[in-house]
Amino acid sequence: MSALLAVDQLRVRFGTGKRATEVLHGVSFEIAPSETLGLVGESGSGKTTIGRTVLGLVKAHSGAVSFDGRDITSAGRRERRALAKDIQVVFQDPYSSLNPAMAIGDILSEPLIMQGVSRRDARARVRTLLDQVGLPSDATDRRPQEFSGGQRQRVAIARALAPEPRLIVCDEPVSALDLTTQARVLDLFAEIQQRTGVAYLFISHDLAVVRHISDRACVLYRGDIVETGQVDDVISRPTHAYTRRLILAAPVADPDRQAERRRERRRLLDLERSTEAVA
């Protein structure tokens, strides 16, 4: 099956001249239709930069981003507007990504109307979207601040689904939620994918979250993909020390096991630092 999204040797630099810093060092991966690729790494690894480059919010220094076989690396504003029907995004903070002055019905219908859908059809589509994400139909008249964090994220997901996209970039979409709400929202993502066939680029710092939602995983470390494969293989049989550190960073209930995991994580970190010092 041909790739829906292909990222090839992507490099991104911030700054100019001698002060320029390269944050992505030739990153490559593909996402097939209806697939979820989990992109996991600690803060500063470059994972959000990848998502923003795919969306056209960050300019690539070199390399290519292709969607459905078409190079969109340098797509202009008009082409990006056209691409918005196929590529959508769900951000980390469900409150700041929603206009607090607008009612939910207007937030959800706006992208449809901009694409030429009549207001009547847009309202009908909004009712369907609210039902799909498990929100009551009377939510259309309420504003974002009237909802809980989990409900606001459901609104954000509904907005991303409005134009019936083929790919959604999910940038830490559950990290601001409590564990119970996280599980519900992740199940919602999976249910939507099963029903619609949408593909996800799922960005997270949490390997447990990535394992829950993803088919494959890419582990990103300081701007490089250091490990990739089927998500269960990456987590069950990690080959890179950084992946093992990420796994050990996840808490467990047993205090003795947790202490042992901390010691092993420190050992791996010390080993990594000594290796870098020699290099």
User: By the 8 A CB rule, do 258 and 234 touch?
Assistant: no
CA torsion through residues 9, 272, 42, 183, sign: positive
Q: How far apart are CA 112 and CA 227, in angstroms?
A: 39
- Token couple for 82: 């056209």
Tell me the C-alpha distance between 97 and 159, whole Å.
11
Three-class SS of residue 224? strand
Find tokens 């196929």 and name the residue.
86
- Say what the pLDDT of residue 254 is: 55
Angstrom distance (rounded) from CA 142 to CA 119: 18
In tens, the pLDDT along 23-47 reads 999 999 999 999 999 999 998 999 9
b/e map of 63-77 (b: 16 or more CB within 10 Å)?
bebbbbeeebbebee
Q: What is the pLDDT of residues 144-182, one digit of tens each?
A: 899 988 888 899 999 999 889 999 999 999 888 888 888
What pLDDT is recorded for position 12? 96
Contact 175, 204 (CB under 8 A): yes
Q: What is the pLDDT of residue 71?
A: 96
Amino acid sitting at position 60:
A
Residue at 133: amino acid letter:
V
The two counts, helices (H) then strands (E), for the chain are 10, 10
Q: What's 60's DSSP letter? A: -
Who's near 178: CB < 8 A, 6+ residues apart?
149, 150
Residue-level pLDDT at 278: 47
Does the pTM exceed 0.85?
yes
Residue 89, φ and ψ in degrees, nearest 5? -145, 145
Q: How far apart are CA 249 and CA 63, in angstroms?
A: 33
What is the pLDDT tens value at each position of the chain, 279 positions in all? 689 999 999 999 998 888 889 999 999 999 999 999 999 999 899 999 999 999 999 999 999 999 999 999 999 989 998 898 999 999 887 677 788 889 999 999 988 888 888 989 998 999 999 998 989 888 899 998 999 888 888 999 999 998 899 999 999 998 888 888 889 999 999 999 999 999 999 999 998 899 999 999 999 999 999 999 999 999 999 998 889 888 877 665 556 566 666 666 666 666 666 655 545
82, 86, 61: which is closest to 73 by C-alpha? Answer: 61
Which residue type does 267 have?
Answer: R
